[in-house]
Amino acid sequence: PKTHHFDWNIHYADGAPDGYAKRQIMINGQAPGPTIECNEGDEIVVMVHNHLDVGTGIHWHGMFQNSTPYMDGIPGFTQCPIPAGGSFEYRFRVQGQFGTYWYHSHEAVQYTDGLYGPLIVHSPNDPYQQGRDYDDEIIILLADNYHDYADKIVREMLSPAGYKGTPAAPSPQSALINGRGVFNCSMAEHKSRCADLKTPTRSVVPGKTYRLRIINGGSHAFNYVSIDGHMLDVIAADGTPIFKQSVHRIPLHNGQRYDALVTMDVGEPGDSFLLRSFIETSCFAVVDPALDPTANLTLQYQFFPEEPVSSPVPRDWSDMNNSNNTGCVDFSDDLLTPLIPQTVPENKNPDGVGKFITGFGFMNISSTQRVGRFFVNGTSYVNYINRPFLESVHRGGAINPAQITSMTFNDDVWVADIILVNTDVIDHPYHLHGVESHIIGRGSGNLTVEEWKTKSFNTINPPRRDTIVVPQKTWAVLRVFSDNPGVWAMHCHIAFHLAGGFMGAVVIHPEAIKQLPYPSSVLDLCPTDAASLNTIEVP
Ligand code: C2O
């Protein structure tokens, strides 16, 4: 196994992802940041220098952080923020995992403005291999783009007046693929800040098969991805290889990844086909009238042996409407059968079950003013700068129930069920850190713990992935092997909902957390004076 060293300077920079100038947050001059690529078993070391004027923390989405929960990267939760002007070294080993992941800031909505990037893990254990199943790889990192600075959006959204008059999460102005999009400048709020961009082109070799690694690194938008005239063979959901499924288009909610094989065998050299990422606008409560929901990448069949000289007009072989799914809902679970089977044990242990009931509501902030927020078991998460939850438990303390709801699986519990109930009128992408989620059941309405006791679940090779869509007014049950001590986040991956309090904590093996060899570099991030540890940071 190798160790991969990265040195990252995080800074503000002027960018124009879709042609409209805005302030972004970049890594070493790039947004999205550099791609991390490694092999299973390797160690990743990232030195982060924070040149912002606020704190930050980087999360490695989907990495389980086995025995290194303090490297999970959530400010206020698993560490104190890396302070403005400060540095911190993340160091962790990629154990027992491979596939398509990503990283992003887990502080407020910093990743919405560019602080995110791909994390790819290769492995001889991957049943789909380059050289046999495909010839080359293409990373497709999706995002939604907001012309306003995201932190400003959130501050207004969580104020009594709301953002543009509503407490609802905003709609973006454009879609991005690998950080690039297009926008119709005639719709721009300040036309002098806008330039019309062209759709980027990537050449592909006729006859070759590509593995697309598609990541939805967006903050609110649900996307469909398709390639005109080509079928996509889906081979992995998040980090889990699945039995191949041929589809016309792939739905992804925030945080989700799908890998798909596509063979370039329907055109002639010089032909072009659009890879389309399309934002499903019906998933938003409010839609910005200027929104252009499409981001395209022109795939041009290479002239062989010459390089392509021009971009022909893309053939319109669109089959966007030919689909096996509609609305803002994920593939159904029966399309996601893992290729490496796992049977999960039965679980009737009353100490091995917990429940998160989530929904939208209003919080009174004075006798006359209220703000919209999300609640998990009645609590809306607020990020105070105090001892991070993980460190509190490590020191033998407790998690402040006024700040976040938590469930605890004690050191004698090895299999645990987490019941997720979505009482909202929209679908949410739920993401669990630290342990692998097996989706063993779903249903409509609520599921009580009494009903859970007598219900039979799908324990024979159920789908497993780290981010699942729970549709409105339904429940889902995740069964996990609770063998990785830590305080793990469960949250909605819509960045604006997370910022509005949509997060709970799962404490696994608190006695083992006390025994963790805790690096002093992590402890040193926290200020030592008690007063500064109890200031409220965000509304
Ligand atoms: Cu991708 Cu808790 O996040």
Query: Which pLDDT value is given to residue 329?
Result: 81
Q: Sign of torsion, CA 478 483 484 485?
A: positive
Q: How far is the CA of 118 from the centre of ligand 1 (A)?
A: 13
Dihedral sign (CA 397, 403, 408, 411) = negative
Instruction: Identify whether the C-beta of residue 21 lies closer than 8 Å to the C-beta of residue 191.
Output: no
E strands, 123-200, are: 136-145, 174-177
370 and 515 belong to one structural domain: yes
CB 510 within 8 A of CB 462: no
Q: Determine the residue type at 438.
A: H
Tens of pLDDT, residues 181-230: 999 999 998 999 999 999 999 999 999 999 999 999 999 999 999 999 89
Pairing of strands 3-15, 43-50: parallel
User: Are 335 and 212 within one domain?
Assistant: yes
Is any atom of ligand 1 closer than 6 Å to the C-beta of 106? yes
Residue 328: predicted pLDDT: 82
Q: Which atom of ligand 1 is nearest to the CA of 102?
A: 1
CB of 431 within 6 A of ligand 1: the answer is yes
Q: What is the DSSP letter of 20?
A: B
Per-residue pLDDT at 259: 98
Contacts of 482 (CB under 8 A, 6+ apart): 352, 409, 413, 414, 415, 416, 435, 508, 509
Helix (H, G, I), strand (E, B) or coil at 393: helix
- Note the pLDDT of residue 322: 46
| CA 1 – CA 92 distance, rounded (Å) | 13
255 lines ligand 1 (CB under 6 A): yes
pLDDT at 304: 67
Q: Answer whether residue 288 is part of any domain.
A: yes
CB-CB contact of 139 with 101 (8 Å): no
Rounded Cα–Cα distance for residues 420 and 441 (Å):
10
Compute the distance between CA of residue 536 and CA of residue 539 in angstroms, rounded to an integer. Answer: 8
Tokens linked to 382: 């607020």
Check if the beta carbon of residue 39 is closer than 8 Å to that of residue 123.
yes
Measured over the CA atoms of residue 186, residue 187, residue 193 and residue 199, the dihedral's sign is negative
Q: Considering the domain boundaries, does residue 318 fall inside one?
A: yes
Q: Which residue minimizes the CA distance to atom 3 of ligand 1?
A: 61
User: Are residues 418 and 334 both part of a single domain?
Assistant: no
Asked if the structure places residue 482 within a domain, the reply is yes
Would you state the pLDDT for residue 307?
60
Say if residue 153 is in the same domain as residue 271: yes
Let me know: does 474 contact 445? Beta carbons within 8 Å. yes
Please list the residues that pair with 145 across neighbouring strands. 174
Is any ligand 1 atom within 6 A of the Cβ of residue 354? no
Q: Is 479 in the pocket of ligand 1 (CB under 6 A)?
A: no
497 lines ligand 1 (CB under 6 A): no
CA of residue 495 to ligand 1 center, whole Å: 9
> Is 160 among the domain residues?
yes
Same domain, 244 and 304: yes
79 CA from centroid of ligand 1 (Å)? 15
In terms of domains, do 434 and 322 share one?
A: no
The DSSP symbol for 335 reads: G
- 148 and 37 in a single domain? The answer is no
The Cα 480–Cα 477 span in angstroms is 10
**520 found inside a domain:** yes
Nearest Cα to 172, choosing from 498, 495, 422, 431? 495
CA of 61 to the centre of ligand 1 (A): 5
237 C-alpha to center of ligand 1: Å?
Answer: 16
Instruction: Quote helix, strand, coil % in the chain, to nearest 5.
Output: 10, 40, 50
Between CA 171 and CA 228 the distance in angstroms is 26
Asked, as a colleague might, if the bond just before 17 is cis with ω within 30 of 0, I would say: no
Between the CA of 128 and the centroid of ligand 1 the distance, in Å, is 26
Q: Are 42 and 139 found together in one domain?
A: no
Let me know whether 403 and 414 are in one domain: yes
Q: What is the pLDDT of residue 537?
A: 45
Please write down the HEC assignment for all residues of 25-83: EEECCECCCCCEEEECCCEEEEEEEECCCCCECEEEECCCCCCCHHHCCCECCCECCEC
Q: Is residue 188 in a domain?
A: yes
Domain final residue pick, 126, 153, 174: 126
Q: Is 489 in the pocket of ligand 1 (CB under 6 A)?
A: yes
Residue 209 and residue 143 share a domain: yes
Mean pLDDT by 10 residues, the chain (539 residues): 97 97 98 98 98 96 98 96 96 97 96 98 98 98 98 96 96 97 93 93 95 98 93 96 93 97 92 92 92 94 68 61 62 93 96 98 94 97 84 91 96 98 96 98 97 97 97 97 98 98 98 96 84 51
Which structural domain, as residue segments, surrounds residue 79? 1-126
Q: 449 is written with which tokens?
A: 């713990």
pLDDT of residue 386: 73
Integer Cα distance of 482 and 480 in angstroms:
6
Tell me how far apart the terminal alpha carbons of the chain are, to the nearest angstrom: 44
Vertex 238: Cα angle to 325 and 484 (nearest 5): 135
Angstrom distance (rounded) from CA 102 to CA 255: 8
CA of 204 to the centre of ligand 1 (A): 32
Task: Give start and end residues of each alpha helix (H) in 79-204.
Answer: 150-157
* Distance from the Cα of residue 90 to its chain's centroid: 19
The token pair at 250 is 């792939």
Cβ contact 62:97 at 8 Å:
yes
**Dihedral angle sign, alpha carbons of residues 225, 231, 237, 240:** negative
In terms of domains, do 1 and 142 share one? no
345 located within any domain:
no
Q: Is residue 241 part of a domain?
A: yes
Which of 126, 153, 172 represents a domain boundary (last residue)? 126
Q: Which residues neighbour 356 within 8 Å (Cβ) at sequence distance 6 or greater? A: 376, 377, 405, 407, 418, 419, 420, 421, 490, 504
Two structure tokens written together for 367:
């006798």
- Write the secondary structure of 429-460 as one string of H (helix), E (strand) and C (coil): EEEECCCCCEEEEEEECCCCHHHHHHCCCCCE
Could you give the CA distance from residue 393 to residue 176 in angstroms, rounded to a whole number? 40
Structure tokens at 52: 């912002």
What's the CATH code of the domain at 313?
A: 2.60.40.420
- Whether the Cβ atoms of residue 296 and residue 177 lie closer than 8 Å to each other: yes
230 close to ligand 1 (CB < 6 Angstrom)? no
For the chain, the domain total comes to 3
Q: Is 496 left (phi over 0), alpha (psi -120 to 50) or beta?
A: alpha
pLDDT at 506: 98
Q: Count CB atoms within 10 A of the CB of residue 361.
A: 14
Report whether residue 257 contacts ligand 1, using a CB cutoff of 6 Å.
Answer: no
The answer on 383 and 329 residing in a single domain is no
Give the closest residue (by CA) to ligand 1 atom 1. 61
The pair of structure tokens assigned to 291 is 């929104």
* Domain end position, chosen among 288, 306, 340: 340
Using the mean position of ligand 1's atoms as its centre, give its distance from the Cα of residue 431 in Å.
6
